A = this chain, B = another copy of it.
Amino acid sequence: MQTNKRKILNDPVFGFISLHSDILFDLIEHPYIQRLRRIKQLGLSSLVYPGANHTRFEHALGALHLMYSAIEVLRSKNVEISNEEAEAAMIAILLHDIGHGPFSHALEHTIVKGVTHEQLSLLMMQQLNLQFNNKLQTAILIFTNNYPKKYLHQLVSSQLDMDRMDYLRRDSFFSGVVEGTIGSDRIIKMLNVHKGHLVVEKKGIYSVEKFLIARRLMYWQVYLHKTVITAEHILINVLKRAKQLTNNGVKLFAPPQLKWFLKNDLDPECFENEALRKEMIDNFVKLDDSDLISSIKVWCNEPDFILSYLSKAIVNRKLLRIKISDKPIPKSKIEKLTNKLLTQMELSDDEADYLVFTGEISNSVYETNSDDIMVLTKNGKAKNLEEASDIDLKALTRKVTKHYVCYPKELE
Protein backbone atom coordinates (compact mmCIF):
# COMPACT_ATOMS: atom_id res chain seq x y z
CA MET A 1 0.00 0.00 0.00
CA GLN A 2 2.62 2.40 1.14
CA THR A 3 5.02 2.01 -1.76
CA ASN A 4 2.11 2.62 -4.06
CA LYS A 5 2.05 6.20 -2.87
CA ARG A 6 5.68 6.82 -3.75
CA LYS A 7 4.68 7.64 -7.29
CA ILE A 8 6.89 9.00 -10.00
CA LEU A 9 5.30 11.63 -12.22
CA ASN A 10 6.48 12.64 -15.66
CA ASP A 11 7.18 16.32 -16.00
CA PRO A 12 8.38 17.90 -19.24
CA VAL A 13 10.47 20.43 -17.32
CA PHE A 14 12.20 18.28 -14.71
CA GLY A 15 11.88 14.78 -16.15
CA PHE A 16 10.65 12.72 -13.25
CA ILE A 17 9.10 14.05 -10.07
CA SER A 18 9.08 11.68 -7.11
CA LEU A 19 6.78 11.88 -4.13
CA HIS A 20 8.83 11.36 -1.02
CA SER A 21 6.06 11.04 1.54
CA ASP A 22 2.65 9.36 1.65
CA ILE A 23 0.78 12.44 2.72
CA LEU A 24 1.94 14.25 -0.41
CA PHE A 25 0.27 11.56 -2.47
CA ASP A 26 -2.94 11.83 -0.46
CA LEU A 27 -2.99 15.59 -0.75
CA ILE A 28 -2.47 15.44 -4.50
CA GLU A 29 -5.42 13.05 -4.72
CA HIS A 30 -7.63 15.55 -2.91
CA PRO A 31 -10.22 17.39 -5.05
CA TYR A 32 -8.79 20.73 -3.89
CA ILE A 33 -5.57 19.96 -5.69
CA GLN A 34 -7.03 17.97 -8.56
CA ARG A 35 -8.97 21.15 -9.31
CA LEU A 36 -5.68 22.93 -10.09
CA ARG A 37 -5.43 20.69 -13.17
CA ARG A 38 -8.20 22.80 -14.65
CA ILE A 39 -6.66 26.19 -13.96
CA LYS A 40 -4.02 27.47 -16.33
CA GLN A 41 -0.96 28.95 -14.68
CA LEU A 42 -0.84 31.89 -17.07
CA GLY A 43 -4.53 32.58 -17.71
CA LEU A 44 -4.97 34.19 -21.09
CA SER A 45 -1.28 34.29 -22.00
CA SER A 46 -1.83 31.38 -24.35
CA LEU A 47 -3.51 33.92 -26.66
CA VAL A 48 0.04 35.21 -27.26
CA TYR A 49 2.11 32.11 -26.51
CA PRO A 50 0.12 29.16 -27.84
CA GLY A 51 2.13 26.66 -25.81
CA ALA A 52 1.42 28.30 -22.47
CA ASN A 53 -1.39 25.95 -21.45
CA HIS A 54 0.33 24.54 -18.41
CA THR A 55 -1.66 24.44 -15.20
CA ARG A 56 -1.27 25.39 -11.56
CA PHE A 57 -1.22 21.65 -10.84
CA GLU A 58 2.04 21.18 -12.74
CA HIS A 59 3.51 24.23 -11.09
CA ALA A 60 2.65 22.89 -7.64
CA LEU A 61 4.38 19.60 -8.46
CA GLY A 62 7.41 21.37 -9.91
CA ALA A 63 7.80 23.59 -6.86
CA LEU A 64 7.49 20.50 -4.66
CA HIS A 65 10.27 18.85 -6.66
CA LEU A 66 12.56 21.85 -6.19
CA MET A 67 11.74 22.04 -2.49
CA TYR A 68 12.94 18.46 -2.10
CA SER A 69 16.18 19.31 -3.93
CA ALA A 70 16.73 22.41 -1.82
CA ILE A 71 16.25 20.45 1.39
CA GLU A 72 18.70 17.80 0.22
CA VAL A 73 21.25 20.49 -0.61
CA LEU A 74 20.87 22.20 2.76
CA ARG A 75 21.14 18.90 4.60
CA SER A 76 24.33 18.08 2.71
CA LYS A 77 25.69 21.33 4.14
CA ASN A 78 24.88 20.17 7.63
CA VAL A 79 21.75 22.26 8.05
CA GLU A 80 19.60 20.15 10.33
CA ILE A 81 16.13 19.61 8.97
CA SER A 82 14.04 16.87 10.53
CA ASN A 83 11.91 14.59 8.39
CA GLU A 84 8.83 16.22 9.82
CA GLU A 85 10.09 19.67 8.89
CA ALA A 86 11.03 18.52 5.40
CA GLU A 87 7.57 17.05 4.91
CA ALA A 88 5.95 20.23 6.23
CA ALA A 89 7.98 22.43 3.89
CA MET A 90 6.99 20.20 0.98
CA ILE A 91 3.33 20.37 1.97
CA ALA A 92 3.52 24.14 2.30
CA ILE A 93 4.93 24.60 -1.20
CA LEU A 94 2.57 22.03 -2.70
CA LEU A 95 -0.39 23.97 -1.32
CA HIS A 96 0.91 27.51 -1.63
CA ASP A 97 -1.30 28.35 -4.61
CA ILE A 98 -4.32 26.30 -3.63
CA GLY A 99 -6.43 29.41 -3.15
CA HIS A 100 -6.00 30.59 -6.71
CA GLY A 101 -9.15 30.67 -8.77
CA PRO A 102 -9.35 30.62 -12.56
CA PHE A 103 -7.82 33.74 -14.12
CA SER A 104 -6.97 34.90 -10.62
CA HIS A 105 -5.97 38.37 -11.58
CA ALA A 106 -9.25 39.05 -13.31
CA LEU A 107 -11.32 37.42 -10.59
CA GLU A 108 -9.69 39.39 -7.82
CA HIS A 109 -10.89 42.55 -9.52
CA THR A 110 -14.42 41.27 -9.98
CA ILE A 111 -16.30 38.28 -8.72
CA VAL A 112 -14.15 37.38 -5.70
CA LYS A 113 -13.31 41.01 -5.11
CA GLY A 114 -13.31 41.08 -1.36
CA VAL A 115 -10.99 38.09 -0.96
CA THR A 116 -7.33 37.61 -1.79
CA HIS A 117 -5.96 34.30 -2.97
CA GLU A 118 -3.60 34.26 0.00
CA GLN A 119 -6.57 34.37 2.38
CA LEU A 120 -8.22 31.58 0.44
CA SER A 121 -5.07 29.46 0.40
CA LEU A 122 -4.83 29.66 4.15
CA LEU A 123 -8.53 28.96 4.61
CA MET A 124 -8.31 25.88 2.42
CA MET A 125 -5.14 24.66 4.09
CA GLN A 126 -6.92 24.93 7.43
CA GLN A 127 -9.83 22.89 6.09
CA LEU A 128 -7.41 20.26 4.79
CA ASN A 129 -5.69 20.26 8.16
CA LEU A 130 -8.98 19.25 9.77
CA GLN A 131 -9.51 16.49 7.23
CA PHE A 132 -5.97 15.23 7.67
CA ASN A 133 -6.05 15.03 11.47
CA ASN A 134 -3.90 18.07 12.09
CA LYS A 135 -1.02 16.75 10.04
CA LEU A 136 -0.66 20.07 8.22
CA GLN A 137 -0.02 22.02 11.40
CA THR A 138 3.69 22.58 10.82
CA ALA A 139 3.14 23.29 7.15
CA ILE A 140 0.71 26.06 8.07
CA LEU A 141 3.19 27.53 10.55
CA ILE A 142 5.83 27.58 7.83
CA PHE A 143 3.43 29.02 5.28
CA THR A 144 2.39 31.84 7.63
CA ASN A 145 5.99 32.45 8.74
CA ASN A 146 5.26 31.47 12.31
CA TYR A 147 7.76 28.63 12.39
CA PRO A 148 11.05 29.35 14.21
CA LYS A 149 13.31 28.25 11.33
CA LYS A 150 12.68 31.25 9.12
CA TYR A 151 14.54 29.80 6.18
CA LEU A 152 11.82 27.20 5.71
CA HIS A 153 9.32 29.97 5.09
CA GLN A 154 11.83 31.68 2.82
CA LEU A 155 12.00 28.54 0.70
CA VAL A 156 8.23 28.89 0.27
CA SER A 157 8.06 32.64 -0.08
CA SER A 158 10.92 35.05 -0.65
CA GLN A 159 12.89 36.47 -3.54
CA LEU A 160 14.62 33.14 -4.05
CA ASP A 161 11.75 30.82 -3.16
CA MET A 162 10.90 27.56 -4.88
CA ASP A 163 7.71 29.13 -6.15
CA ARG A 164 9.45 31.51 -8.51
CA MET A 165 12.27 29.06 -9.22
CA ASP A 166 9.63 26.80 -10.68
CA TYR A 167 7.34 29.30 -12.32
CA LEU A 168 10.09 31.18 -14.13
CA ARG A 169 11.51 27.98 -15.58
CA ARG A 170 8.11 26.53 -16.32
CA ASP A 171 6.59 29.63 -17.86
CA SER A 172 9.72 30.09 -19.94
CA PHE A 173 9.58 26.48 -21.04
CA PHE A 174 5.95 26.44 -22.10
CA SER A 175 5.82 29.91 -23.59
CA GLY A 176 8.86 29.10 -25.68
CA VAL A 177 10.59 32.26 -24.43
CA VAL A 178 13.80 30.35 -23.83
CA GLU A 179 15.68 33.40 -22.69
CA GLY A 180 13.56 33.52 -19.59
CA THR A 181 14.97 30.27 -18.35
CA ILE A 182 16.90 30.37 -15.12
CA GLY A 183 19.61 28.18 -13.67
CA SER A 184 17.42 26.90 -10.86
CA ASP A 185 19.68 23.86 -10.45
CA ARG A 186 22.71 25.97 -9.82
CA ILE A 187 21.02 28.51 -7.59
CA ILE A 188 19.60 25.73 -5.45
CA LYS A 189 23.03 24.08 -5.23
CA MET A 190 24.34 27.42 -3.91
CA LEU A 191 21.72 27.85 -1.16
CA ASN A 192 22.75 27.73 2.45
CA VAL A 193 21.51 28.88 5.84
CA HIS A 194 23.17 31.62 7.87
CA LYS A 195 21.86 32.56 11.30
CA GLY A 196 18.54 30.95 10.49
CA HIS A 197 18.06 32.76 7.21
CA LEU A 198 18.33 31.56 3.66
CA VAL A 199 21.46 32.78 1.90
CA VAL A 200 23.13 32.13 -1.40
CA GLU A 201 26.84 31.39 -1.50
CA LYS A 202 29.16 33.95 -3.02
CA LYS A 203 29.99 31.97 -6.13
CA GLY A 204 26.29 31.80 -7.00
CA ILE A 205 26.09 35.57 -7.33
CA TYR A 206 26.27 35.66 -11.13
CA SER A 207 23.48 33.11 -11.31
CA VAL A 208 21.36 35.30 -9.07
CA GLU A 209 22.03 38.38 -11.17
CA LYS A 210 21.06 36.45 -14.24
CA PHE A 211 17.96 35.16 -12.47
CA LEU A 212 16.90 38.74 -11.78
CA ILE A 213 17.42 39.82 -15.37
CA ALA A 214 15.60 36.74 -16.67
CA ARG A 215 12.74 37.57 -14.36
CA ARG A 216 12.63 41.12 -15.67
CA LEU A 217 12.54 39.74 -19.22
CA MET A 218 9.72 37.34 -18.38
CA TYR A 219 7.70 40.14 -16.87
CA TRP A 220 7.87 42.41 -19.88
CA GLN A 221 7.84 39.71 -22.50
CA VAL A 222 5.24 37.36 -21.04
CA TYR A 223 3.40 38.37 -17.89
CA LEU A 224 2.98 42.00 -18.91
CA HIS A 225 2.92 41.46 -22.66
CA LYS A 226 0.60 44.07 -24.03
CA THR A 227 -1.73 41.59 -25.70
CA VAL A 228 -2.01 39.65 -22.47
CA ILE A 229 -2.82 42.88 -20.63
CA THR A 230 -5.59 43.81 -23.02
CA ALA A 231 -7.02 40.28 -22.93
CA GLU A 232 -7.04 40.23 -19.15
CA HIS A 233 -8.62 43.61 -18.88
CA ILE A 234 -11.32 42.56 -21.35
CA LEU A 235 -11.98 39.53 -19.18
CA ILE A 236 -12.30 41.77 -16.13
CA ASN A 237 -14.83 43.89 -17.98
CA VAL A 238 -16.75 40.84 -19.17
CA LEU A 239 -17.12 39.67 -15.60
CA LYS A 240 -17.95 43.14 -14.29
CA ARG A 241 -20.63 43.50 -16.93
CA ALA A 242 -22.01 40.03 -16.26
CA LYS A 243 -22.23 40.83 -12.58
CA GLN A 244 -23.87 44.16 -13.27
CA LEU A 245 -26.45 42.59 -15.57
CA THR A 246 -27.11 39.84 -13.03
CA ASN A 247 -27.65 42.44 -10.36
CA ASN A 248 -30.08 44.13 -12.74
CA GLY A 249 -32.05 40.90 -12.97
CA VAL A 250 -30.84 39.64 -16.33
CA LYS A 251 -30.65 35.83 -16.39
CA LEU A 252 -27.30 34.88 -17.87
CA PHE A 253 -26.23 31.38 -18.66
CA ALA A 254 -23.71 30.09 -16.10
CA PRO A 255 -23.02 26.92 -14.18
CA PRO A 256 -24.19 27.21 -10.56
CA GLN A 257 -20.68 27.67 -9.12
CA LEU A 258 -20.15 30.72 -11.32
CA LYS A 259 -23.71 32.00 -10.86
CA TRP A 260 -23.16 32.12 -7.11
CA PHE A 261 -20.26 34.54 -7.54
CA LEU A 262 -22.11 36.66 -10.06
CA LYS A 263 -24.95 37.08 -7.56
CA ASN A 264 -23.04 37.60 -4.33
CA ASP A 265 -20.94 40.59 -3.47
CA LEU A 266 -18.11 39.50 -1.25
CA ASP A 267 -16.50 41.57 1.40
CA PRO A 268 -14.09 40.84 4.22
CA GLU A 269 -17.01 40.20 6.51
CA CYS A 270 -18.03 37.12 4.62
CA PHE A 271 -15.18 35.46 6.46
CA GLU A 272 -16.81 36.19 9.78
CA ASN A 273 -20.04 34.54 8.79
CA GLU A 274 -19.38 30.85 8.94
CA ALA A 275 -22.32 29.74 6.81
CA LEU A 276 -21.48 32.26 4.10
CA ARG A 277 -17.83 31.37 4.23
CA LYS A 278 -18.65 27.69 3.83
CA GLU A 279 -20.96 28.46 0.91
CA MET A 280 -18.32 30.56 -0.75
CA ILE A 281 -15.62 27.90 -0.36
CA ASP A 282 -18.01 25.21 -1.66
CA ASN A 283 -18.63 27.17 -4.80
CA PHE A 284 -15.07 28.35 -5.14
CA VAL A 285 -13.58 24.85 -5.19
CA LYS A 286 -15.92 23.90 -8.02
CA LEU A 287 -14.96 26.87 -10.14
CA ASP A 288 -12.30 26.60 -12.81
CA ASP A 289 -11.28 27.90 -16.23
CA SER A 290 -13.90 25.82 -18.02
CA ASP A 291 -16.83 27.59 -16.35
CA LEU A 292 -15.67 30.98 -17.47
CA ILE A 293 -14.75 29.91 -20.99
CA SER A 294 -17.92 27.93 -21.52
CA SER A 295 -20.12 30.75 -20.24
CA ILE A 296 -18.35 33.49 -22.14
CA LYS A 297 -18.91 31.54 -25.36
CA VAL A 298 -22.64 31.53 -24.60
CA TRP A 299 -22.58 35.23 -23.71
CA CYS A 300 -21.37 36.02 -27.23
CA ASN A 301 -25.05 35.74 -28.17
CA GLU A 302 -26.41 37.87 -25.34
CA PRO A 303 -28.51 40.86 -26.42
CA ASP A 304 -26.42 43.19 -24.27
CA PHE A 305 -23.98 44.77 -26.70
CA ILE A 306 -21.14 45.30 -24.20
CA LEU A 307 -21.23 41.75 -22.91
CA SER A 308 -21.46 40.12 -26.33
CA TYR A 309 -18.84 42.44 -27.87
CA LEU A 310 -16.28 41.75 -25.16
CA SER A 311 -17.11 38.04 -24.99
CA LYS A 312 -16.51 37.69 -28.71
CA ALA A 313 -13.27 39.63 -28.31
CA ILE A 314 -11.96 36.87 -26.10
CA VAL A 315 -13.47 33.84 -27.80
CA ASN A 316 -12.42 34.79 -31.31
CA ARG A 317 -9.28 36.64 -30.23
CA LYS A 318 -10.49 39.92 -31.73
CA LEU A 319 -9.01 41.93 -28.93
CA LEU A 320 -9.14 45.64 -28.27
CA ARG A 321 -6.24 47.68 -29.53
CA ILE A 322 -3.74 48.51 -26.81
CA LYS A 323 -1.18 51.31 -26.85
CA ILE A 324 1.65 51.39 -24.35
CA SER A 325 3.36 54.58 -23.24
CA ASP A 326 6.08 55.53 -20.79
CA LYS A 327 3.95 58.49 -19.69
CA PRO A 328 0.38 58.54 -18.36
CA ILE A 329 -2.20 58.58 -21.14
CA PRO A 330 -3.45 62.16 -21.47
CA LYS A 331 -7.11 62.64 -20.56
CA SER A 332 -7.69 64.40 -23.86
CA LYS A 333 -6.76 61.25 -25.75
CA ILE A 334 -9.20 59.14 -23.76
CA GLU A 335 -11.96 61.71 -24.22
CA LYS A 336 -11.33 61.78 -27.94
CA LEU A 337 -11.57 58.02 -28.18
CA THR A 338 -14.68 57.93 -26.00
CA ASN A 339 -16.37 60.60 -28.05
CA LYS A 340 -15.60 58.77 -31.24
CA LEU A 341 -17.05 55.63 -29.73
CA LEU A 342 -20.22 57.42 -28.61
CA THR A 343 -20.78 58.82 -32.08
CA GLN A 344 -20.56 55.32 -33.53
CA MET A 345 -22.60 53.41 -30.96
CA GLU A 346 -25.48 54.20 -28.70
CA LEU A 347 -23.96 53.80 -25.30
CA SER A 348 -24.06 55.55 -21.96
CA ASP A 349 -20.86 57.03 -20.56
CA ASP A 350 -20.65 54.24 -18.06
CA GLU A 351 -20.93 51.70 -20.82
CA ALA A 352 -18.24 53.42 -22.87
CA ASP A 353 -15.82 52.81 -20.02
CA TYR A 354 -16.07 49.10 -20.76
CA LEU A 355 -14.59 49.62 -24.20
CA VAL A 356 -12.20 52.53 -23.73
CA PHE A 357 -10.07 52.39 -20.65
CA THR A 358 -6.60 52.93 -19.31
CA GLY A 359 -4.36 51.33 -16.75
CA GLU A 360 -0.78 50.92 -15.73
CA ILE A 361 1.66 48.08 -15.35
CA SER A 362 4.86 48.11 -13.42
CA ASN A 363 7.71 45.89 -12.50
CA SER A 364 10.95 46.03 -10.64
CA VAL A 365 13.61 43.42 -11.05
CA TYR A 366 14.60 43.40 -7.45
CA GLU A 367 12.01 43.94 -4.76
CA THR A 368 13.44 46.32 -2.21
CA ASN A 369 10.44 46.22 0.06
CA SER A 370 10.67 42.48 0.53
CA ASP A 371 13.48 40.68 2.33
CA ASP A 372 16.81 41.26 0.65
CA ILE A 373 18.61 38.41 -1.04
CA MET A 374 21.52 37.66 1.25
CA VAL A 375 24.90 36.48 0.04
CA LEU A 376 27.25 34.36 2.13
CA THR A 377 30.81 35.55 1.61
CA LYS A 378 33.85 33.36 1.95
CA ASN A 379 34.70 34.66 5.39
CA GLY A 380 31.34 33.41 6.61
CA LYS A 381 29.48 36.71 6.76
CA ALA A 382 26.22 37.55 5.05
CA LYS A 383 25.89 40.69 2.94
CA ASN A 384 22.88 41.80 1.02
CA LEU A 385 23.05 41.26 -2.72
CA GLU A 386 23.51 44.90 -3.64
CA GLU A 387 26.55 45.15 -1.43
CA ALA A 388 27.98 41.82 -2.52
CA SER A 389 27.66 42.37 -6.25
CA ASP A 390 30.45 44.12 -8.09
CA ILE A 391 28.02 45.89 -10.37
CA ASP A 392 25.64 48.57 -9.25
CA LEU A 393 22.47 46.59 -8.81
CA LYS A 394 20.55 49.66 -7.70
CA ALA A 395 20.17 50.38 -11.35
CA LEU A 396 18.11 47.26 -11.64
CA THR A 397 15.99 47.97 -8.61
CA ARG A 398 14.23 50.93 -10.13
CA LYS A 399 10.55 50.23 -10.53
CA VAL A 400 9.52 50.70 -14.14
CA THR A 401 5.96 51.78 -14.80
CA LYS A 402 4.16 51.86 -18.12
CA HIS A 403 0.74 53.15 -19.04
CA TYR A 404 -1.75 51.83 -21.51
CA VAL A 405 -4.99 52.65 -23.17
CA CYS A 406 -7.33 50.12 -24.80
CA TYR A 407 -10.09 50.77 -27.32
CA PRO A 408 -11.94 49.00 -30.13
CA LYS A 409 -9.91 48.68 -33.33
CA GLU A 410 -12.89 50.10 -35.19
CA LEU A 411 -12.01 53.52 -33.71
CA GLU A 412 -8.75 53.74 -35.63
Contact = CB atoms under 8 A, between A and B. Distances in A.
B55 A54 contact: no
A196 interface: no
Given A34-B315, A206-B220, A8 B189 contact: yes
Contact of A365 (B173, B286, B365, B391): B391
Contact of A11 (B50, B76, B290): B50
A276 interface: no
B34 A316 contact: yes
Interface in A1-35: 6, 8-13, 15-16, 29, 31, 34
> What is the predominant secondary structure among interface residues of chain A facing chain B?
helix
Contacts of A293: 38, 288, 290, 294
Interface string A386-402: 00001111111010100
B291 A15 contact: no
A256 B207 CA distance: 45
Which bucket holds chain A's interface residue count? Answer: 35 or more
A289 interface: yes
Contacts of A53: 40, 53-55, 58
A343 to B, nearest CB: 25
A398 B8 CA distance: 31
A57 interface: yes
A400 B395 contact: no
Contacts of A50: 9-11, 37, 55, 57-58, 61
Given A12-B173, A255-B298, 6 more contacts: A11-B50, A16-B189, A53-B58, A207-B217, A257-B297, A392-B394
| 3 nearest CB pairs, A to B | A395-B395, A392-B395, A10-B176
30 contacts: A8-B189, A10-B51, A10-B175, A12-B174, A15-B178, A15-B185, A16-B186, A29-B317, A50-B55, A50-B61, A51-B58, A178-B183, A178-B185, A179-B182, A179-B183, A179-B207, A181-B181, A206-B216, A209-B213, A210-B213, A255-B294, A255-B295, A255-B297, A288-B297, A290-B294, A294-B295, A391-B398, A391-B400, A392-B392, A395-B395
